[in-house]
Amino acid sequence: MSIVNDMNLAESGRRKIQWVRDFMPALSEIEQRFAREKPFEGLRIAVSVHLEAKTANLGLVLKAGGAEVSLTGSNPLSTQDDVAAGLASMGVETFGIHGASAEEYEAHLVETLKNKPHLIVDDGGDLIHLLGGHCRDYGTEIIGGCEETTTGILRLRARERDGILPCPMVAVNDAKAKHYYDNKYGTGQSVWDAVMHISNLIVAGKTVVVAGYGWCGKGVAMRAAGMGANVIVTEIDPFKALDATMHGYRVMKMEEAAPLGDVFVTVTGCRDVITPAHFEKMKHNALLCNAGHFDCEVDVAGLSKMAIRQELRRDSIVGYTLSDGRVLNVAAEGRLVNLAAGNGHPAEIMDMSFAVQALTLEWLVKNREHLECRVYEVPDVIDQEIAVSKLSSLGLSVDTLTEAQRAYLDGWSGE
Ligand SMILES: NC(=O)c1ccc[n+]([C@@H]2O[C@H](COP(=O)([O-])OP(=O)(O)OC[C@H]3O[C@@H](n4cnc5c(N)ncnc54)[C@H](O)[C@@H]3O)[C@@H](O)[C@H]2O)c1
């Protein structure tokens, strides 16, 4: 039985789910085929992805494909109680409560695995962590799974290296149809959507420090610059740093950026990116946000120790007063701001990411006899199919190579 906060919220949740379904055409096309072909008939799927409307839609698409689906969140603050109730009311076993404690959050993950899944969809590696640990008995029938995000894939590869990957996993994040759009344009928009909403402040004219110029960081920096911010990038990779300078951003170390920034966004997937040494130098009323997967990028515990007082200043913003009177503001407890204090990526973006998930799960089932416990790439045909489907849903198409062009590109003679 589902565990949600309040089933009375189901109608609001169903409205949100219905809204996004209208803007996820690639996934709708897949859903219609799944409903006919039932690729997951007799199979159980456990999903741990931020429990909001687009994820709920993925759950419904897998259900339409014949699966028995159980679904939980991937961060206690990103779970939306109305969506959880709405999804539960639509026949998907749902476990998640906004603001759950660490223990409750893990209990919901465990409940999700109790269906003894054949397939899993993970976002950040929590399900895999449990299946490789004290929940291994729930994984005896597993065929494989998909991982949604960069940080989760780093961990999968570390498990693969150490020979402790509990089942075959596919790196969905690394599909072009995922990270080219989701990480860049999705994070680029949804981070600023959340920051502007929770702060009610202007971005134009502010100095915005973006830590990490990877796929997500590029999007966050681009949209900040587009709204008129002065963008500073901090990096550890000299090539990414050069890329940022050629986009016109200033590049420097965090210790130099700390006194300059009005808004900070960490999006590195690394830990201890902003620490007490940086807090010492920051301006009064700086706003600190994280968009990386885990809440270890901004050392909020360290800031809390330095502070003489802390208070809720607006919903999702806590102000830490330091002994010299400066206040540093932390958004969403240092958890990924766009999901913990916002609605996550736009539906049109998650359409592509979740289309990759749906087709990759189907691929796992079709190839179940040949899979080993390793990390697989998403097959190219899946990537291509989604790009073409998305383009056509936008009424767009691309040219096709002629035979002569193909021979020219494949050949060495230049003819
Ligand atoms: N908020 C969201 O909705 C969302 C969406 C997708 C991914 N993510 C998460 O965001 C994080 C980044 O993902 P990505 O796809 O951009 O990864 P990426 O690997 O493309 O980029 C990360 C960048 O951070 C840099 N970096 C690493 N450690 C650093 C440090 N200490 N200081 C400065 N720079 C550092 C790396 O050199 C790299 O360029 C991951 O945790 C990922 O799981 C969040």
Q: Are 116 and 140 a contacting pair, CB within 8 Å?
A: yes
CA distance 124 to 153: 8
Q: Are residues 322 and 221 in the same domain?
A: yes
CA distance 358 to 380: 15
Q: Are residues 240 and 362 in the same domain?
A: no
The verdict on residue 408 lying in a domain is no
- 75 close to ligand 1 (CB < 6 Angstrom): no
The DSSP letter of residue 248 is: T
- The residue-averaged pLDDT of 126-133 equals 97
Q: Which residue owns the Cα nearest ligand 1 atom 1?
A: 291
| pLDDT tens per residue, range 161-179 | 999 999 999 999 999 999 9
Q: Domain with 213 in it: what CATH number? A: 3.40.50.720
The verdict on residue 374 lying in a domain is yes
Closest atom of ligand 1 relative to the 215 alpha carbon: 16
Q: Are residues 29 and 169 in the same domain?
A: yes
The angle at the Cα of 216, spanning 214 to 218, to the nearest 5 degrees, equals: 65
Residue 62: pLDDT over 90 = yes
Amino acid 414: pLDDT: 82
Q: Are residues 42 and 111 in the same domain?
A: yes
Torsion angle, alpha carbons of 340, 341, 345, 346, to 10: 140
CA distance 311 to 299: 17
Q: Are residues 217 and 316 in the same domain?
A: yes
The verdict on residue 29 lying in a domain is yes
| pLDDT tens per residue, range 279-326 | 999 999 999 999 999 999 999 999 999 999 999 999 999 999 999 999
CA distance 13 to 55: 12
Q: Are residues 327 and 368 in the same domain?
A: no
The verdict on residue 406 lying in a domain is no
The verdict on residue 414 lying in a domain is no
Looking at the 3D structure of the chain, how many domains does it have? 2
- 235 close to ligand 1 (CB < 6 Angstrom): yes
Q: Which residue owns the Cα nearest ligand 1 atom 27?
A: 268
- 192 close to ligand 1 (CB < 6 Angstrom): no
Residue 413: pLDDT over 90 = no
| pLDDT tens per residue, range 323-340 | 999 999 999 999 999 999
CA of 266 to the centre of ligand 1 (A): 8
Q: Are residues 159 and 308 in the same domain?
A: no
Domain encompassing residue 229? 187-335
Q: Are residues 149 and 237 in the same domain?
A: no
Q: Domain with 73 in it: what CATH number? A: 3.40.50.1480
The verdict on residue 124 lying in a domain is yes
- Best residue for ligand 1 mutational test, from 222, 267, 356 (most atoms within 8 Å of Cβ): 267
Q: Are residues 297 and 168 in the same domain?
A: no
Residue 346: pLDDT over 90 = yes
The verdict on residue 409 lying in a domain is no
Q: Are residues 191 and 298 in the same domain?
A: yes
CA of 273 to the centre of ligand 1 (A): 11
* pTM attached to this predicted model: 0.95
